[in-house]
Copies of this chain bind each other. A is one copy, B any other.
């Protein structure tokens, strides 16, 4: 696997794979966050997913890329040419199984997000985003951040992910702080003062959900050296 792939660094804002690119690549995030976006003909664009450390991105068994992959922060990733990677999958069923588990988990997260976008108002979406990030931090195996939330991406990207605007996010975050549910440390760091209240505001049943996800992947595979103080290299977009 190491023979066909190699580590590459991407600066924040760099496009890794453009929409429609033909001979595509597969990547595995080592550190940082990759944003997965799609663009409408009139230029509007929506962030449809985020790839965090340990997760794969790119298109398997497809010709053209329907999505664009960009570095939302400074990113280190292990990248593979598509064809050899697919050949590797065919010969190593254990690896194919791992990739499938990742796809199933992404599918589950995507469908949760469809619900967030489909029937929550913008306030609830902001809350859901915070809890979503909080959950994935724990999934990525970051231990110290139990009471804290770190936004891995800037307000503009969050707005793109939530299907709303930076102004609306700002208002709702400030409202949460006024209600003493969170405490604002700086633009991208928060302390959770009342986790129960936060969860109830999102209206999602975290009791049932938490275990089904958390127990799945703990082998994030991120080298210890990269697990430093912050899982996103804090090079905000």
- Which A residues lie at the B interface, using CB under 8 A? 19-20, 36, 38, 40-42, 44-49, 60-64, 66-67, 93, 96-97, 99-101, 103-104, 106-108, 110-115, 117-120, 160-163, 200, 203-205, 208-209, 211-212, 215-216
Contact = CB atoms under 8 A, between A and B. Distances in A.
Contact of A208 (B20, B42, B108, B203): B20
18 contacts: A38-B111, A40-B119, A40-B203, A41-B204, A41-B205, A46-B114, A46-B118, A48-B112, A49-B111, A49-B114, A60-B104, A63-B212, A64-B211, A99-B100, A100-B100, A110-B110, A110-B114, A118-B161
Contacts of A63: 211-212, 215
Contact of A103 (B66, B100, B118): B100
Contact of A62 (B161, B204, B212): B212
Given A62-B212, A100-B96, A203-B41, A111 B108 contact: no
A42 B203 contact: yes
B107 A19 contact: no
Contacts of A119: 40, 44-46, 163
Which residue of A104, A161, A163, A208 has the most chain B CB atoms within 10 A of its CB atom?
A104
A110 B107 contact: yes
A103 B107 contact: yes
B108 A66 contact: yes
A61 B103 CA distance: 12
How many chain copies? Answer: 2
Given A60-B104, A93-B96, A163-B118, A112 B66 contact: yes
Contacts of A19: 208
Contact of A114 (B61, B96, B100, B114): B114
B101 A104 contact: no
B110 A111 contact: yes
Nearest to A37: B115
A166 to B, nearest CB: 14
A163 B108 contact: no
A145 to B, nearest CB: 24
A40 B118 contact: no
